[in-house]
């Protein structure tokens, strides 16, 4: 089991709030960041979160306490070892500002194996194709899609 956490909050820091707003505007979504948790996560308890963050300089592991007012959690029935190791093996890699702009603002789909943004590294870790094309919102949409459409895929009784 893994958990993906999607940031929907509003930072008290004006610079961070501007960054979040710019990402949400450019990607057309409500989420500006994503985190990976190896295991089932709960709100309001310390967790080790793996991701890439421009605020933290790139790929990192960080202890965090997630609040329901700021985060949405999606649990997935995926063994955690492979994806977690994928991200851990890249700790220290720089944040991919250029890739973010080239993939989401200009839609060129640029990818640099030495730099990562949050949703890109998580999508790559769980084996999704073209991870550089997935914003936090699109990653959320992809991993929740099956449950969203299961109602209209089933035939009425």
Does the structure show a pLDDT above 60 at 151? no
Please report the sign of the dihedral spanned by the C-alpha atoms of residue 71, residue 6, residue 113, residue 23: negative
> How far apart are the C-alpha atoms of 3 and 82, rounded to whole Å?
14
Domain coordinates of the chain in residue numbers? 2-144
Tell me the mean pLDDT in the region 122-136: 94
Nearest residue to 3 (alpha-carbon basis) of 52, 91, 66? 66
Please report which residue ranges of the chain form alpha helices under DSSP H. 14-27, 81-88, 97-100, 118-125, 136-153
Two structure tokens written together for 4: 């993906």
Given this model, what pLDDT does residue 155 score? Answer: 46
Strands (E), 17-150: 33-38, 46-53, 58-65, 71-76, 94-95, 115-116
Query: Considering only 54-63, 70-79, 100-109, which range has the smallest mean pLDDT?
Result: 100-109
Q: Give 42 or 146, the one with higher predicted confidence.
A: 42
Q: Chain centroid to CA 139: how far?
A: 7
Choose from 7-16, 19-28, 96-105, 139-148 the range with maximum mean pLDDT. 7-16
For 54-58, 109-113, 131-135, which range has the lowest pLDDT when averaged over its residues? 109-113
Q: What is the pTM of this model?
A: 0.89
Contact indicator for 8, 24 with CB cutoff of 8 Å: no
Q: Determine what percent of the chain is predicted with pLDDT higher than 70.
A: 84
Per DSSP, the three-state class of 149 is helix
Q: Are 122 and 65 in contact (CB under 8 A)?
A: no
CA angle 69, 72, 76 (to 5 degrees): 155
Nearest by Cα to 46 from 66, 61, 60, 71: 66
CATH architecture of 2-144: Alpha-Beta Complex (3.90)
């Amino acid at each position: 089991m893994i958990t993906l956490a999607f940031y929907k909050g509003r930072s008290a820091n004006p610079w961070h709030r501007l960054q979040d707003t710019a990402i949400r505007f450019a990607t057309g979504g409500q989420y500006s960041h994503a985190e990976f948790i190896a295991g089932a996560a709960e709100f309001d308890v310390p967790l080790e979160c793996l991701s890439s963050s421009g605020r933290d300089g790139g790929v990192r592991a960080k202890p965090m306490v997630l609040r329901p007012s700021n985060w949405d959690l999606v649990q997935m029935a995926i063994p955690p070892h492979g994806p977690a190791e994928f991200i851990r093996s890249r700790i220290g890699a720089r944040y991919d500002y250029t890739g973010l702009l080239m993939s989401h603002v200009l839609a060129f789909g640029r990818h640099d194996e030495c730099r990562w943004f949050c949703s890109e590294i998580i999508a790559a870790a769980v084996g999704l194709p073209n991870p550089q094309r997935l914003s936090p919102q699109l990653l959320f949409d992809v991993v929740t899609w099956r449950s969203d459409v299961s109602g209209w895929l089933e035939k009425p009784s």
